Amino acid sequence: MTATVPTGTSAGAPTSDVDPFSHEVLEDPLPMHEALREAGSVVHLSRYDTFALARYDDVHEALLNWQDFQSSAGVGLSNFRYEEPWRPPSIVLEADPPRHDAPRRVLQKVLGPRALRRLREGWAADADALVDEVLARGTSFDAVRDVAATFPLRVFPDAVGIQEEGREHLLPYGDHAFNAFGPANDLVAKGTPRVAELSAWVNTQCRREVLAPTGFGADIWAASDRGDITPEQAPLAVRSLLTAGVDTTVHGISALLYAFATHPDQWQRLRAEPSLARTAFDEAVRWESPVQTFFRTATTDVRVGDVVIPEGRKILMFLAAANRDPRRWADPDRFDLSRDPSGHVGFGMGIHQCVGQHVARLEAESIVTALARRVATIEIAGPTVRHHNNTLRAWESIPVRVALD
């Protein structure tokens, strides 16, 4: 990783010509994260002329400080002040107060912990059923394809209330949306030919007459009936769930299963104490950071450490690097259920913190609890394969072998 050694300075910040979106880095970003953290509070990335934050305190502060670090110029590399977004911007993720207020408030209620209570029992039963199906086929399976990519797609689209037909479009659509936060590289080019088709299907699912009469989608439209958001905002609020609610949980659950397959002692710990499932998921989100990065744009000249980032410039926040910053976490590379992962920035922080975090936790808790009930040991059974995405840390395949009680 010689490329990450600072090669100069810009605005007083050390400069690096590393490409965080190259396949080499996406395969294993940890050395780059460490180099960026150690180079300083702020590192200028010359290749994209953007400023990187990789230390926990700096990333945490930038996430909270919506006044100086805006989202409405896009949370990817593209600056919406000068460039046309690939789709109409999100009314939550890519919005600032005051326009952000109303849709955020509605989604927070629709996806809040109290609203999820009615789903808990059903999702536990769905998880048990999926685990029984998988184990009935044998004790060797792919933890991604057969579990992590299957369970969210069984429960979440139903909870939103979208139609059955075409659900296979959800993962490729989300994958492209998260690639599009990065530069226009081969990963974006790969998804571009299907954008029109996938977007058309997703946009159709957001329409009131297509959505089921109950579910998150119907709840969002009911909020529009009350005037809490406008009828024009309702389909975009549903679109946010379909964009950000599928790939993220798939990769989060993959990360958790990979962590257990490679840390057998932690699996035994969970089996002994099943109530650790929630903590385990958050520890996996900290450890792996399924969402690696988001950008902000400086609304003023912002001082971070000794560096003043000029107004209008893009800032790349490495959530993943912050989540393994030894300044904040003891022995950060260890996946450890005895750690309190509270305060990790894997879901972001502040007004844009993942509004679906409670949904993600409930999905993960349901499936891992179901697995722990039947699976005594879990181990890697073949070569694992990463899935590259400009924003997501993901697995294509994790072959595992399990032993049952």
Partner 1 sequence: MTATFPVTGTGAADVATLRVTGKHVQADGVLTLELASPSGSRLRDWTPGAHIDLVLPNGLTRQYSLCGDRWDSTTYRVGVLREPESRGGSSFVHEQLQVGDLVGVGGPRNNFPLVPSEQYLFVAGGIGITPILPMVRQADLLGADWRLLYGGRHRASMAFLDELAPYGDRVQVRPQDEFGLLDLPAFVGEPREGIRIYSCGPAPLLDAMERTCAYWPPSSLRVERFVADEAAAPARTAPFEVELARTGTTVTVTPDLTVLEALNRVGVEVLSSCRRGVCGTCEIPVLAGRPDHRDALLDDDERQADDCMYVCVSRSRDERLVLDL
Tell me how far, at minimum, the Cβ of 370 lies from partner 1, in Å: 20
Q: Among residues 347, 359, 367, which one has the least CA distance to residue 134? A: 367
Tell me how far, at minimum, the Cβ of 226 lies from partner 1, in Å: 6
In this structure, the strands spanning 307-309 and 399-404 are unpaired
Coil/strand/helix, residue 280: helix
The two three-digit tokens of residue 23, written as one number:
């396949």
> Which residue pairs from 82-85 have beta carbons closer than 8 angstroms and sit at least 24 positions apart in sequence?
none
Half-sphere exposure of 149 (CA within 13 A, CB side): 20
Tell me how far, at minimum, the Cβ of 147 lies from partner 1, in Å: 23
Which residues are near partner 1 by CB under 8 A? 61, 64-68, 97-99, 101-102, 105, 112-114, 226-230, 233, 278-279, 282, 300-304, 308, 340-344, 347, 349-351, 353, 357-358, 361
CB of 60 or CB of 176, closer to partner 1? 60
CB of 17 or CB of 228, closer to partner 1? 228
Return the residue matching tokens 């088709």.
Answer: 197
CB of 166 or CB of 350, closer to partner 1? 350
Tell me how far, at minimum, the Cβ of 195 lies from partner 1, in Å: 28
CB of 64 or CB of 210, closer to partner 1? 64
Tell me how far, at minimum, the Cβ of 32 lies from partner 1, in Å: 25
For the chain, report the end-to-end CA distance as a whole number of angstroms.
45
Tell me how far, at minimum, the Cβ of 280 lies from partner 1, in Å: 10
Structural contact between residues 45 and 53, judged by C-beta atoms closer than 8 angstroms: no
For residues 15 and 298, give the distance between their C-alpha atoms in angstroms, rounded to a whole number: 18
Q: How far, CA to CA in Å, does 88 sit from each of 42, 94, 95, 232?
A: 31, 10, 11, 12
Structural contact between residues 390 and 21, judged by C-beta atoms closer than 8 angstroms: yes
Tell me how far, at minimum, the Cβ of 28 lies from partner 1, in Å: 27
Return the residue matching tokens 């690939």.
Answer: 86
CB of 7 or CB of 65, closer to partner 1? 65
Tell me how far, at minimum, the Cβ of 295 lies from partner 1, in Å: 18
The two three-digit tokens of residue 160, written as one number:
């939103």
Coil/strand/helix, residue 222: helix
Coil/strand/helix, residue 323: coil
Q: How far, CA to CA in Å, does 204 sit from each of 162, 165, 317?
A: 9, 12, 33
Residues composing the chain:
405
CB of 99 or CB of 401, closer to partner 1? 99
Tell me how far, at minimum, the Cβ of 158 lies from partner 1, in Å: 23
Q: How far, CA to CA in Å, does 369 sit from each of 73, 132, 309?
A: 41, 13, 46
CB of 233 or CB of 248, closer to partner 1? 233
CB of 212 or CB of 351, closer to partner 1? 351
CB of 91 or CB of 143, closer to partner 1? 91
